[in-house]
Amino acid sequence: MAKIAASRLRDRRVVTEQGHEIGTLFDIIVDEDTGKIMAFIVDPSTEQIKEELITDKNGLILVPFGAFYAIKDYLIVDAKRLPKKTTKTTLFVR
């Protein structure tokens, strides 16, 4: 796996494998002991995203690192692994 500086990832667009935009990368959570990335903090792009996905008190989405499978020009996430508020959603249906 190629190495990418965290500062180069900030503000990159986060999209699902179907091309739905989730938002932009706001921050990264790293385990201090192991140095492993635990999760990405994403700033949702729309109010609909905020309504469908679990957000913190600041309106940001905490997406587990394991949900991502490509990190290049975009950060691509598996829509099934996003932290949804309900099991039935409209935005992420195939």
- Looking at residue 93, its pLDDT comes to 52
Query: Distance (Å, rounded) from C-alpha 41 to C-alpha 55?
Result: 10
Q: What is the pLDDT of residues 1-56, one digit of tens each?
A: 567 777 777 889 999 999 999 999 999 999 999 989 899 999 999 999 998 998 99
Q: Which domains are present in the chain?
A: 6-81 (2.30.30.240)
Whether the pLDDT of residue 61 is over 90: the answer is yes
pLDDT tens for each residue of 75-92: 999 999 998 887 555 555
In the chain, at which residue ranges do the beta strands (DSSP E only) sit?
13-16, 21-30, 37-44, 61-64, 68-71, 75-77
Alpha-carbon distance of 40 to 28, in angstroms, equals 5
Q: What is the pLDDT of residue 79?
A: 92
Beta bridge partners of 64: 39
Sheet holding 37-44, edge to edge: 61-64, 37-44, 21-30, 13-16, 75-77, 68-71
Distance (Å, rounded) from C-alpha 77 to C-alpha 16?
A: 5
**What pTM did the predictor assign?**
0.81
